[in-house]
């Protein structure tokens, strides 16, 4: 399935991605309008999309996490951003009590959607 999600941060890239990023940290808004972290997506990017996204991410940098609960990522590897970018992410339907993205693959930026309109998909529980 594919879900539109909001980018709230990114993880430092390594190897051939050292100049861009390793993964995006994404989430959606709950009914109280809090950004809930749902997971990360680190595959599906082209070289061009990595460069375009990194430029947009750099322009949105902020010092604190926009997520209501801090994602379990090393602070030294993460950069936080203003939640202003919406992306489509293809993923498996979450099963059981695990309410995080599984097998996530980036598809595209959604310029037609406002981040505030991205509600927590029903298959994820907050």
pLDDT tens digits, 38-51? 999 999 999 999 99
pTM assigned to the model? 0.91
36 within 8 A of 69, measured Cβ to Cβ:
yes
* Domain contains 125: no
Mean pLDDT of 55-81: 93
* Domain contains 123: no
Q: State yes or no: pLDDT of 35 exceeds 70.
A: yes
Which residues does residue 5 pair with via DSSP β-bridges, in sequence order? Answer: 87
Which residues does residue 25 pair with via DSSP β-bridges, in sequence order? Answer: 9, 40
Q: What is the CATH number of the domain that holds 40?
A: 2.40.50.140
Domain count, the chain: 1
pLDDT at position 48 is 92
Residue 77 structural domain = 2-117
Assign 91 to helix, strand or coil. Answer: coil
Helix (H) or strand (E) holding 57: helix 47-59
* Domain contains 105: yes
């Amino acid at each position: 399935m594919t879900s539109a999600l909001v980018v709230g941060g990114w993880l430092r890239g390594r190897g051939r991605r050292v100049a861009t990023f390793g993964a995006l940290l994404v989430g959606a808004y709950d009914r109280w309008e809090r950004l809930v972290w749902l997971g990360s997506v680190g595959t599906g990017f082209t070289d061009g999309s990595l460069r375009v996204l990194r430029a947009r991410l750099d322009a949105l940098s902020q010092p604190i996490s926009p997520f209501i609960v801090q994602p379990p990522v090393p602070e030294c590897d993460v950069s936080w951003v203003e939640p202003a970018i919406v992306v489509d992410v293809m993923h498996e339907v979450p099963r059981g009590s695990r309410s995080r993205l599984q097998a996530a693959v980036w598809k595209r930026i959604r310029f037609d959607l406002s981040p505030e309109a991205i509600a927590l998909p029903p298959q994820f529980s907050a």
